[in-house]
Structure 1
Amino acid sequence: MGYPTAPKWIASWLLALALPCTAYAADPDQDAAKNAPKDPYSDARAIVADLQRIVTPNGVQETFKAPIGGIDQWVSVRGKDRAHPLLLFVHGGPASPSMPVAWTFQRPWEDYYTVVNWDQRGAGKTYLANPPDQVAPTIRIDRYVDDTIDLIELLGKRYGKRKVVLVGHSWGSIVALKAALKRPDLIHAYVGIGQVISVPENERLSYEYALRMAREHNNQEAIRDLQALAPYPGPEPLTRERIIRERNWAQLYSGLTAYRTQSDYYYDAPKLSPEYTAADRAAIDQGNQLTLGRILQEWSRVDFTPVRNVPFPVFMHMGRYDQTTPSAPTARWITAVKAPVKRGIWFEHSAHLSPMEEPGRTLVSLVEDVLPVVKGDAADTKAGNR
């Protein structure tokens, strides 16, 4: 049993930060494009685009480029009614954007929220909008945190809302939780999906799971490879190569998607996204190459364990089978932390991709758990009435 083949695993080494992404060929030059065969997905994208159109009188559907943190960054905003609360989804990565996969699960959210997806610095459309050598020196966690705060304030002015529901997924859960702690006045509630609490503990648990499953399945190749990594993560700085090898086996045994050894539905979803061109899709991998190595050592030290009090409602969506960002540390943290409202919600048939794996349960939580908190927050006044 060998390693999954590239390119779909090109970024899997950093899945505790985020989700892997599929590599795509760049757009051909203009002359070649004239003679190229028709894109086999273009008709399907048109159908998805038609289905996704917001047609309600007070709805919003716009994708725009905005100055955030000193560079141009791309934002997508969708919802059936502008009066609904804003929900900002902070994607994984640091360069695995949610914009091209959101069509698979987001549409029902738009009945209750105005949903914002944002290609972070170095990700997708934003990667293409800025010279990489200008962005590279800024790849730091605190810069992403400040970008998040800048975007929330921009959204408030644009849509007349004082606060947002902040949702962080995987790597995005580091950025979003730090932003919420830094500026709780901007947050109705925080929702963590595949939440990172302690990177060192997550790495240890994921490794132990992979080795245990390899032994249960008598997978000698996996056993040898994992034992060669011991001690893992160990006292030395983590490297890209070591993380790739560990993730390979943890995800083979359903650590990314419950009950599956592969997650092609996720990797292939951008091909049908109306939001993304071929060049945008190719930029996903280019962004990974720009950002991952630059953030690795800082990421490997992240630990929210000492945080014992949060001044905002907090909800954790925890995949029972998640071995990418294992849920046990999150379950302990949400039990111990003090918050105005808190709840840990188990997704019994999910690993790391619960919005895709259990979209109905995700929607129910956003409506039944989170929305009442938002409606009870008197601070959500019009920005003009502050």
Structure 2
Amino acid sequence: MRNKNNRLICTSEYVRINGIDQFLYHLGTSFDNPVMLFLHGGPGSAESLFTGLFQDRWEEIYTVVHWDQRGAGKTLTKNPDKLPTIDLMLQDLFEVIQYLKKKYKKKKIVIFGHSWGSVLGSVFIRKHPEDVEYYIGAGQVIGMVENEQVGYNKVKEMIKNADDKKSLKKLESIGEYPGSKTVFDKEFLRKCNVVRKLQGKYKLGMEIGIDIWIAVLKSPIFKFSDIIAFMKIFKANSKVYSFLEDFNLRRESKEYKVPVYYILGERDWQAPHVIAEDYFKDIKAPNKDIFIIPDAGHFLMMDQPDLVFDALSKISKEEKNVQCFL
């Protein structure tokens, strides 16, 4: 595997986790740095191939470990019949963290959850706060129905303000959206696809441009089997999507036992930042802070890598200062 930046830590491996071999990708510049476990989105959308677009400077302050979750990326390729449920994934995550604690001789691990990863991370830190130094949610999901309702209303507002009759006709053609509950069946996914494309047109959500695909092809860990795995994610993660349909953090206690930080894109209406901001105001945690990244969408790390790094630097310094007083 190429190590273009001559990093001290640059390793890809399969580790036996919860009965199957799962893929981990480690990048860093010092064994003294905190270890950050990156929980990717989806479910099923491994982001280990995108590191070249945003992560180089992160490695100055963290050892960053990407995990292709069960049902995603290289772990799915290796285990096509070992598909995830939420309980399996929580146990997987627990075992990954135990492995990293032992490997790097750390008492706790930093969790960075992006999109679906913010769901998995938010559930996990309630169950195992003793293993987590602090939690960072990016593109933080609070509740699926609320997410879709607010995102739909925003793009409809933008379309009407632009007097874009063609786009309005497309949006209205899907009928009621999302309904009283999100159900990830073919009909919902068809409607969701229409909404996402219009959100992309109005720069309100995730935008996958040619630069992202070029970065994927240039990744030192890329294989063509990764593309095949990506095409299988909905079928492979059907049981996790069933869990996600009814997910709502507002129904849980707002008290957290670990520090909580949110980094949100100002123009992210796929996981609308306004919902996460509203929820964040009421949470109680040993330490907390929120960062709104201007001109950034759902893939905020790629849209504004320098500003996201600045937020991570502030979080890292804040946590180091706290540790000095303990």
Q: Same fold, TM exceeding 0.5?
A: yes
Cα offset for 1:182?
0.9
1:81 positional shift:
0.9
Equivalent residue for 2:230? Answer: 284
Partner secondary structure for residue 305 of structure 1: helix
Q: Which runs of 4+ in 1 moved over 4 A?
A: none
1:221 aligned partner: 166
Does structure 1 retain, via aligned residues, the 8 Å contact 2:268–2:297? yes
Rg larger in structure: 1
Q: Which runs of 5+ in 1 are unaligned?
A: 1-45, 381-386
CA distance in 2, matches of 1:374, 1:334: 22
User: Offset at 1:375?
Assistant: 6.0
What is the CA deviation profile of residues 50-89 of structure 1, one whole-angstrom value per residue up to 9, with x for unaligned ones? 53331xxxx3221110111221110011111111110111
Which residue number corresponds to residue 18 of structure 1? none
Q: Deviations over 1:304-352 (max 9, x none)?
A: 1133111111110011100110011110111111111111111011111
Structure 1 residues 147 and 354: alpha-carbon distance in aligned structure 2, compared to 1, 3 A threshold: same
The 2-side partners of 1:52 and 1:278 are apart by 24
Distance in 2 between the 1:251 and 1:286 partners? 23
RMSD: 2.1
Aligned residues between the structures: 321
Deviations 1:174-222 (A, max 9, x none): 0011111110011111100000011111100111112122222333332
Q: 1:182 aligns with which of 118, 127, 133?
A: 127
8 Å Cα contact 1:252-1:262 kept in structure 2: no
2:114 is matched with which residue?
169
- Residue in 1 that maps onto 2:85: 140
Partner of 2:205: 256
Give 1:223 deviation, angstroms. Answer: 1.6
Amino acid corresponding to residue 179 of structure 2 in structure 1: G
In structure 1, what is the Cα distance between the partners aligned to 2:204 and 2:211?
15
Look up the match of 1:52.
5
Aligned pairs for 1:6-25 (under 5 A) are none
Whole-Å separation in 1 of the counterparts to 2:321 and 2:24 = 25
Name the structure 2 match of 1:348. Answer: 294
Choose from 126, 131, 137 the match for 1:192: 137
CA contact (8 A) 2:266 2:295 kept: yes
For 1:110, the aligned partner's letter is E
Structure 2 partner of 1:67: 16
Q: Which residue of the partner structure matches residue 45 of structure 2?
A: 96
Query: Do the aligned partners of 2:129 and 2:257 also contact (CA within 8 Å) in 1?
Result: yes
Which residue of the partner structure matches residue 272 of structure 1? 218
CA distance in structure 2 between the aligned counterparts of 1:303 and 1:192, rounded to whole angstroms: 15
Task: Identify the match of residue 122 of structure 1 among 51, 64, 71.
Answer: 71
SS in 1 for 2:57: helix
Structure 1 residues 335, 147: CA separation in 2 closer, same or farther (over 3 Å shift)?
same
Q: Which residue is equivalent to 1:360?
A: 306
How far apart, in 2, do the equivalents of 1:278 and 1:296 lie?
25
